[in-house]
Each structure stands twice: as structure tokens, then as C-alpha cells.
């Protein structure tokens, strides 16, 4: 019989009177494992991987300090990066042995272990009404000219001609490769910067072994050079600043900073695409990453600095569980582990959050393995608990979070000695000894393990990484279910995880059609993550085409052969992919078009613009103004073409849903114009009868805000209306709007 080792640490009660922890729970686990000499277990953790530097083990952290950290503390770090806009935020690489010294420092406010994010156009251009965009009479050059598209991803294939003007001038201005060493970018002390001059000297210098970043860049701004324009992206005259990231959170935030700084130095607006994220975290944007990103946006200014993020691909995985817990009854999340390929080291993480501001609240947790081993009910604060069983090792950390007043219970289930994580039902139970609260749990597994909550759901699964109001969050819907590929016969598959090979060495003598059976045209993609956020905010903002999307294929990547398009035999320059990773750059490209007209647009301007011109509003189909999958509707900018007859005029509302309540009876119309004009605003019912003349307003060159007031006694009930604008200069506009009181 296998000998079991039980390690117990008895802990103080985890109650709302506990002081906030100064380090994140996963960092606490790393610190404790290091003190036990278990460095290999730290390296096997999927949350981060320490790097070997000198004689010690180092980890990357995000840290906020109350004041400038001491020179003695910083002298221990091999990487020190202070973020702009604040004297208090740092990206540090520190020895694990020094975590305890940082923790006891009076200058430290909070320190969080770096986590790794995961990666989440033929039909696209047609579906969103952009096919005629570039031939529209009178538009001029509004293809993203003088706008920087920033891509933080897996790199870019600089030899792909879709990112060149002709064959002589690259459209990629800078690449920061964080994964290798070389000449550092100014202001940073790691990675390698590649300039346009470097690309001209060696077009093969930029690589993308994953292929993800190249595909994303092609959707946002590829010019279709390799396909005679057929697979042109959304903003083909834009320029690129690329960050090939390690996917760790501090490096991603460094990448955002790098792009915004480059755009500022060039005097150009920028839109940054983030087709990556994490299922772990607070899911409310009120964490150290959210605060840091908000500070950075404020530092560079909201005008002309836009961030677009993919919603995530966890919409069908049941990685979320929530329930109300109290002292009268416990609740149990049943986690089913169905597949364990038994890699060298596996982990499952369960990240649970609850409101910790309730007076006297005390929460307990219990983990039960498939064989019946149990931790018993644990009441604790910030010290570790671990137990090794025949089904795997269980480690539990609990902290109160500095930034959002929430409690955070972090559970890691991992291989124990020679024992793999056991398949079957694992039970995670919660209760309180005092008070009532709502608890949310999310799950993340290492490769080789398939697990889900039997009694879970798919709501609240929007990626936790960048959930700010000023970040545009994009879900995905389907516009294409099949392609002609270089695979040698017709094939129907239900998962993109088919097989991959190196495309340069692949030869095909015949071609077939690949059909994806899980996709339905014009429906939300089955994988698109659902909202809302944990604090109840409405995310995603919009849904854009995310399957199947044809875009640039990196020549240095391994590709899923049935998804490589066959139209250019032997060239293998384009591939179809799917994911919210593909939907986000559609919105990124559209944002670049708008910024090329008005470079001072702010994030909320772009969000409201997209909402105003969305179609197939969920309100029309199911009576709601916002939907957890679609957001505020399906992106379709066909009507935008009418706006751009005169490219100097942009007109939008605060979305296609106007909400009124007692004391709030006003909405704004935004108009960007180059000429002085007067505009009459009228409200009609859907049958064309005038409900109310809302007044005539003067507008002037630049951005104008027209406040429209609806009186308490006006007969404007919950319904669908037509809002019409009549311009003295002869340009009229109408919008379908939903009024909710």
C-alpha cells in the first residue's frame, strides 16, 4: 500500500476582520513550496515558471508599493521595470528566497505572481458590411492611414507580403520580441527590439512559430498582397507595432506600455489588440492588473489610445460555478475529471471569490477526493494547508484582496509523488459559520487534463485579464462553416484540435472541403465566453465574426492542414481559424478606420459607436437590451457606409438602447464634423408617426455633444422608436433605438 504523507498547518479563522494579504495566494504557495525545498513543484505549476538566473530561482511579479521601495530590496531583483503614470507600480524579477523579505516590508502594498495568459477574410468583410468600404465614392483614404495597430501576441511573420507596401516598404515599424535577448527597447531591460530598418535588411527576421499573432494581424490590417486583395484585412493602410510576448501578465502590460509609448512618440493614435487572457482572477477588473492598466491609460490619455480584448473561448466548458452560501447549509461544486493523459506534472486550479465586506462573515471550505479522502472543513486566513492523498495533492490558500474587498480561496490539486490526479468526481464544498454571501469559482487545468463542473455553467466566463469599462470586449459569431483546403479529401470535424504539421514541408496533390459541424452561420460561436462580470457589469460589448476567418499564415508555424486554404497551390499563405481571438481584431481594424477620421476618439466613443450601428439586437429577438453572449448586438457597419459618404461626419448615440429612470431623462448625440451646421432631432414611432420634436441644435467643426432631454410627462414608453436627424446642409440620418424606463 502506498504510504500517505499528511502535512497540516492549523490556521486562524478566515473572517471579514482579517487584514488584507500582501501577496497573492498562488505566490504564497510558491513561497511555502520553496521553503520546503520543492523547487520542481514550483516549476511544474502552470501559473508561472521560474527562470534560472545566477545561483537562485527567480519569478516575475507585479507589485504596488506605498512609497519607493528600498535600494536593498531592489538590489535583489534581476529585472526592475517601473510603470509610467505612477511611482508605485513595478514589474520585478525576484529570487523566490526573497519573497518573505518583500512581504514584511512596510513599503509593499501588494505583490502578485505572474500568470501566463492563453491564446484565445473573405466572409468577415462581407458579413459586417465592409466589402464596399474602400471603393465608396467620396470617402477618400480611410483605410487606417496614420493609425498604429498594436498587436500583443505570438509575433508576426515579417516575410508575409500582406504586411508590406508593395515589396519594398514594410508596414511593421517596430517589433519587441520579449522571448529572446538582444538590443533592448529604450526604457526596458529585456528582450530584443527589431526596427523597420532591420526588417528591410532581413525580411525573415520576424518569426511567429505559433502562427496566432500573424493571423490576428492579418485580420486587423493585412492588405491582401499575397491574394490579390481577396484576403484583405479591415484597415489595410495602417501601420504595425508588434510585441512578441512571453504571455506572462507583466510582460503583456509592458507590451501595452511599449505600444502606447511608440504611438505617442510618432504622434499617431493607436488601437491595441489583446487576443489572449486568463480564466483565473477576480473577474471584476478590480485587481492589481486592472488598477495598473487604468493608471497607464490615464497617463497616456484616453484620446486615441484604445484597447480591444477577446472575450475568451470558455463558453462551452463549464469552468464556472456559483452559489449562495450561509451558516445553515453548505453548497458543493462537483468537479469532474474525465481525462488525465498523465503528463510529467499536472495541476488543476480552482479560484474562488466572494464579497468579504460583510461584517462578521467567516467562510469555510472542504475538498473531497474521488476515493473519499477529505481535507475536512478548513477555517483559515493566509497560511497554507496541504495534504497528499492517493488521489493527488491538495493545497489551499485563502486571502482577502487589497483592491476589491473580496475574499479569495485558491485551491491547487496536483500530482502527489508518483500518484497522478485521479479521474472521477472531486467535491469542493463551501459554507459560512456566520453570515451569507455569493461565491464564484473558476477552474483552470494544465494540458492533458479535461475537467469541468458537473453542476457548473458557462456564465461569468469572460476572460478576467482586462475587464475594464474602457477596454472593448468582443465575443464571436459564425460567418463561415466550411472552406476549400489543402487536405486531400472532404472532411467534417467537430474540433479544431485535429492535427498540425509544418506547412513548408507539406505537399498535397489533391484538395478537399473542410466542414466544421459545430458551427451555424449567424449564430453565436459555441465557444464564445459569456458575461456578465462578477460585479454585474455588461460584458462583452459586441459580437464580431470569429469563425471561420481566413487570414495570413505564418511560414514558420505548424498548421492544422484541413484549415489551410487551397487557392494558391504551393504557397500556403492563408489559413482559417476560429475563436474570439479572431473576432477581436475585426473590431481593432474598425477602430483603426474610425481613428483615421478622428484621432481624439475615446474608448467609450468607440464602444458607443459600435453599439449604435450593431444589428440583430438581442432586444429584437428576446426582449433584452444586452445579452451575455452577444453583448449589445451583432457587429454590422453597413449603415456606417452612409455615415461615411461624407467622411468628415461621424454621428453616434450612447448605443442603440436608451435607458431612462426617475431623474435620468437625458441621452447624448455625438457628431464629428468639419463644417458648421444646424440639426433638428425628431422621435417617431415605428409606423412613422411623430412622437416629439426634440429641438434644433447648432454644431461646429470638431466633436459636438448634443444633450437630448425627454420630459417626465412626454409619452415615451418602453418601445422601439426611430430617431431622425435633419441637417440644414441636407444630410439626414435615422437610427432605430430602444427606450427602456
Q: Indicate whether 299 and 202 sit together in one domain.
A: yes
Percentage of the chain modeled with pLDDT above 70: 84
Q: Indicate whether 133 and 69 sit together in one domain.
A: no
Query: Coil, strand or helix: which one is 680?
Result: strand
Q: What is the mean pLDDT of the chain?
A: 85
Cell of 276: 489572449
Plot region of 346 (φ>0 → left; ψ -120 to 50 → alpha; else → beta): beta
Q: Indicate whether 415 and 439 sit together in one domain.
A: yes
Cα-based distances in Å from 370 to 104, 338, 340, 422: 39, 12, 14, 7
Q: Indicate whether 297 and 196 sit together in one domain.
A: yes
For 140-149, what is each residue's pLDDT tens digit? 467 889 999 9
Overall domain count for the chain: 4
Identify the CATH number of the domain in which residue 377 sits.
Answer: 2.60.120.1290
Flag whether 603 is in a domain: no
Q: Which residue from 85, 525, 105 is spatially nearest to 292, judged by alpha carbons? A: 85
For 49-71, what is each residue's pLDDT tens digit? 555 555 568 889 999 999 888 89
77: CB partners within 8 A, 6+ apart: 92, 93, 94
Query: Coil, strand or helix: which one is 678?
Result: strand
For 343-355, what is each residue's pLDDT tens digit? 666 889 999 999 8
For 389-420, what is each residue's pLDDT tens digit? 999 999 999 888 888 889 999 999 998 777 88
Flag whether 519 is in a domain: no
Q: Indicate whether 269 and 326 sit together in one domain.
A: no
For 608-650, what is each residue's pLDDT tens digit? 988 888 875 544 555 567 889 999 888 875 555 455 555 567 8
Kindly report which listed range (62-76, 190-204, 662-676) carries the lowest average pLDDT score: 662-676
Length of the chain: 741
**Looking at the predicted structure, is the pLDDT value of residue 543 above 60?**
yes
- Phi first, then psi: what are they for 290, rounded to 5°? -65, -45
Please tell me the predicted confidence (pLDDT) of residue 268: 98
**Looking at the predicted structure, is the pLDDT value of residue 139 above 70?**
no
Local confidence band at 507 (pLDDT 50, 70, 90 cut-offs): low
Local confidence band at 5 (pLDDT 50, 70, 90 cut-offs): very low
Please tell me the predicted confidence (pLDDT) of residue 552: 95
Last residue of a domain, one of 72, 91, 113: 113
b/e per residue 711-723 (b: at least 16 CB within 10 A): eeeeebeeeebbb
Cell of 156: 508576426
The angle subtended at Cα 299 by Cα 580 and Cα 582, nearest 5°, is: 10
pTM of the predicted model as reported, rounded to 2 decimal places: 0.91
Local confidence band at 101 (pLDDT 50, 70, 90 cut-offs): very high
Flag whether 32 is in a domain: no
What is the Cα–Cα distance from 679 to 730, expressed in whole angstroms? 10
Flag whether 427 is in a domain: yes
DSSP state of 546: E
Flag whether 282 is in a domain: yes
What is the Cα–Cα distance from 246 to 374, expressed in whole angstroms? 37
Q: What's the whole-number mean pLDDT along residues 99-123?
A: 84
Please tell me the predicted confidence (pLDDT) of residue 489: 77
Flag whether 610 is in a domain: no
CA end-to-end span of the chain: 68
For 221-259, what is each residue's pLDDT tens digit? 999 999 888 888 999 999 999 999 999 999 999 999 999
**Looking at the predicted structure, is the pLDDT value of residue 386 above 60?**
yes
Q: Indicate whether 278 and 405 sit together in one domain.
A: no
Local confidence band at 660 (pLDDT 50, 70, 90 cut-offs): low
The angle subtended at Cα 655 by Cα 650 and Cα 660, nearest 5°, is: 130
b/e per residue 568-583 (b: at least 16 CB within 10 A): eeeebbbbbbbbbbbb
Percentage of the chain modeled with pLDDT above 90: 52
Q: Indicate whether 268 and 162 sit together in one domain.
A: yes
CA dihedral 625, 630, 635, 639 (to 10 degrees): -20
For 153-173, what is each residue's pLDDT tens digit? 999 999 999 999 987 899 999
Q: Which residue from 655, 634, 636, 631 is spatially nearest to 315, judged by alpha carbons? A: 631
Q: Where are the alpha helices (DSSP H) in 1-61?
A: 25-35, 39-44
Could you tell me if 654 and 739 are in contact, meaning their C-beta atoms sit under 8 angstroms apart?
no
Q: Indicate whether 127 and 257 sit together in one domain.
A: yes
**Looking at the predicted structure, is the pLDDT value of residue 698 above 90?**
yes
Flag whether 704 is in a domain: yes
What is the Cα–Cα distance from 38 to 53, expressed in whole angstroms? 18
What is the Cα–Cα distance from 6 to 385, expressed in whole angstroms? 10
Q: Indicate whether 76 and 135 sit together in one domain.
A: no
Last residue of a domain, one of 420, 453, 486: 453
Local confidence band at 13 (pLDDT 50, 70, 90 cut-offs): very low
Flag whether 497 is in a domain: no
Q: Indicate whether 213 and 299 sit together in one domain.
A: yes
Q: Give the β-pairing of 574-577 and 549-552.
A: antiparallel
For 670-682, what is each residue's pLDDT tens digit? 988 888 999 999 9
Last residue of a domain, one of 391, 419, 453: 453
Q: What's the whole-number mean pLDDT along residues 312-327?
A: 94
pLDDT higher at 741 or 210: 210
Q: Indicate whether 96 and 138 sit together in one domain.
A: no
Query: 590: part of which helix (H) or strand (E)?
Result: helix 580-597
What is the Cα–Cα distance from 617 to 739, expressed in whole angstroms? 13
Q: Indicate whether 212 and 243 sit together in one domain.
A: yes
The whole domain housing 675 covers 650-741
For 453-464, what is each residue's pLDDT tens digit? 999 999 999 999
Sheet holding 437-445, edge to edge: 6-7, 385-389, 392-400, 406-414, 347-355, 437-445, 320-325
Amino acid at each position: 500500500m502506498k504510504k500517505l504523507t499528511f502535512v497540516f498547518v492549523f490556521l486562524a479563522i478566515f473572517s471579514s476582520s482579517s487584514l488584507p494579504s500582501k501577496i497573492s495566494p498562488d505566490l504564497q504557495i510558491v513561497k511555502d513550496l520553496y521553503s520546503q525545498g520543492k523547487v520542481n513543484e514550483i516549476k511544474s505549476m502552470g501559473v508561472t515558471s521560474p527562470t534560472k538566473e545566477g545561483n537562485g530561482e527567480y519569478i516575475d511579479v507585479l507589485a504596488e508599493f506605498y512609497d519607493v521601495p528600498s535600494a536593498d530590496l531592489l538590489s535583489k531583483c534581476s529585472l526592475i521595470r517601473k510603470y509610467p503614470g505612477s511611482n508605485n507600480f513595478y514589474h520585478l524579477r525576484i529570487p523566490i528566497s526573497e519573497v518573505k523579505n518583500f512581504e514584511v516590508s512596510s513599503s509593499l502594498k501588494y505583490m502578485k505572481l505572474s500568470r501566463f495568459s492563453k491564446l484565445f477574410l473573405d466572409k468577415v468583410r462581407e458579413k459586417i458590411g465592409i466589402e464596399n468600404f474602400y471603393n465608396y465614392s467620396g470617402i477618400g483614404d480611410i483605410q487606417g492611414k496614420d493609425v498604429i495597430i498594436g498587436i500583443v501576441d505570438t509575433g508576426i511573420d515579417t516575410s508575409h507580403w500582406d504586411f508590406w507596401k508593395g515589396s519594398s516598404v514594410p508596414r511593421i515599424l517596430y517589433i519587441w520580441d520579449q522571448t529572446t535577448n538582444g538590443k533592448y527597447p529604450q526604457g526596458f531591460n529585456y528582450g530584443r527590439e527589431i526596427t523597420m530598418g532591420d526588417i528591410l535588411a532581413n525580411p525573415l527576421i520576424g518569426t511567429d512559430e505559433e502562427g496566432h499573432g500573424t493571423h490576428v494581424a492579418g485580420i486587423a490590417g493585412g492588405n491582401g498582397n499575397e491574394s490579390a486583395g481577396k484576403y484583405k484585412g479591415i484597415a489595410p493602410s495602417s501601420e504595425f507595432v508588434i510585441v512578441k510576448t512571453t504571455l506572462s501578465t507583466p510582460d503583456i502590460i509592458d507590451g501595452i506600455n511599449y505600444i502606447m509609448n511608440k504611438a505617442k512618440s510618432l504622434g499617431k493614435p493607436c488601437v491595441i489588440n489583446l487576443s489572449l487572457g486568463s480564466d483565473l482572477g477576480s473577474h471584476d477588473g478590480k485587481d492589481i492588473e486592472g488598477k495598473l492598466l487604468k493608471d497607464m491609460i490615464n497617463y497616456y490619455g484616453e484620446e486615441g489610445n484604445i484597447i480591444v480584448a477577446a472575450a475568451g473561448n470558455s463558453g462551452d466548458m463549464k469552468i464556472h460555478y456559483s452559489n449562495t452560501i450561509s451558516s445553515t447549509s453548505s453548497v458543493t461544486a462537483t468537479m469532474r475529471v474525465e481525462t488525465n493523459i498523465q503528463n510529467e506534472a499536472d495541476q488543476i486550479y480552482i479560484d474562488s471569490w466572494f464579497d468579504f465586506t460583510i461584517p462578521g462573515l467567516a467562510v469555510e471550505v472542504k475538498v473531497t477526493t474521488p476515493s473519499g479522502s477529505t481535507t475536512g472543513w478548513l477555517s483559515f486566513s493566509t497560511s497554507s494547508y496541504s495534504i497528499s492523498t492517493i488521489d493527488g495533492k491538495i493545497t489551499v490558500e485563502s486571502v482577502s484582496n487589497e483592491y476589491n474587498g473580496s475574499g479569495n480561496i485558491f485551491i491547487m490539486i496536483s500530482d502527489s509523488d508518483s500518484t497522478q490526479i485521479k479521474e472521477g468526481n472531486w467535491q469542493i464544498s463551501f459554507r459560512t459559520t456566520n453570515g451569507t454571501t455569493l461565491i464564484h469559482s473558476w477552474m483552470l487545468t494544465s494540458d492533458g487534463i479535461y475537467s469541468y463542473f458537473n453542476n457548473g455553467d458557462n456564465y461569468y466566463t469572460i476572460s478576467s485579464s482586462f475587464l475594464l469599462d474602457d477596454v472593448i470586449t468582443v465575443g464571436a459569431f459564425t460567418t463561415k462553416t466550411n472552406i476549400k483546403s489543402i487536405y486531400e479529401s472532404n472532411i467534417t470535424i467537430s474540433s479544431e484540435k485535429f492535427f498540425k504539421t509544418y506547412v513548408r514541408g507539406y505537399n498535397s496533390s489533391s484538395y478537399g472541403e473542410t466542414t466544421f459541424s459545430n458551427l451555424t452561420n449567424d449564430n453565436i460561436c459555441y465557444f464564445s465566453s459569456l458575461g456578465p462580470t462578477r460585479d454585474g457589469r455588461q460584458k462583452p460589448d459586441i459580437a464580431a465574426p470569429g469563425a471561420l476567418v481566413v487570414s495570413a499564415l505564418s511560414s514558420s508555424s505548424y498548421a492544422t492542414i484541413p484549415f489551410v486554404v487551397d487557392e494558391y497551390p504551393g504557397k500556403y499563405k492563408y489559413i482559417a481559424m476560429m475563436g474570439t481571438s479572431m473576432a477581436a481584431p475585426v473590431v481593432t481594424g474598425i477602430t483603426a478606420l474610425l481613428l483615421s477620421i478622428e484621432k481624439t476618439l475615446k474608448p467609450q466613443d468607440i464602444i458607443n459607436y459600435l453599439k449604435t450601428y450593431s444589428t440583430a439586437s438581442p432586444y429584437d429577438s428576446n426582449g433584452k437590451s444586452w445579452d451575455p453572449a452577444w453583448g449589445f448586438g451583432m457587429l454590422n457597419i453597413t449603415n456606417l457606409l452612409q455615415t461615411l459618404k461624407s467622411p468628415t461626419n461621424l454621428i453616434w448615440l450612447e448605443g442603440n438602447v436608451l435607458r431612462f429612470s426617475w431623474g435620468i431623462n437625458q441621452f447624448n448625440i455625438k457628431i464629428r464634423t468639419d463644417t458648421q451646421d444646424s440639426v433638428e432631432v425628431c422621435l417617431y414611432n415605428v409606423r412613422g408617426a411623430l412622437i416629439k420634436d426634440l429641438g434644433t441644435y447648432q454644431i461646429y467643426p470638431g466633436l459636438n455633444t448634443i444633450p437630448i432631454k425627454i420630459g417626465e410627462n412626454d409619452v415615451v414608453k418602453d418601445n422601439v422608436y426611430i430617431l431622425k436627424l435633419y441637417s440644414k446642409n441636407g444630410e439626414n440620418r435615422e437610427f432605430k433605438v430602444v427606450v427602456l424606463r
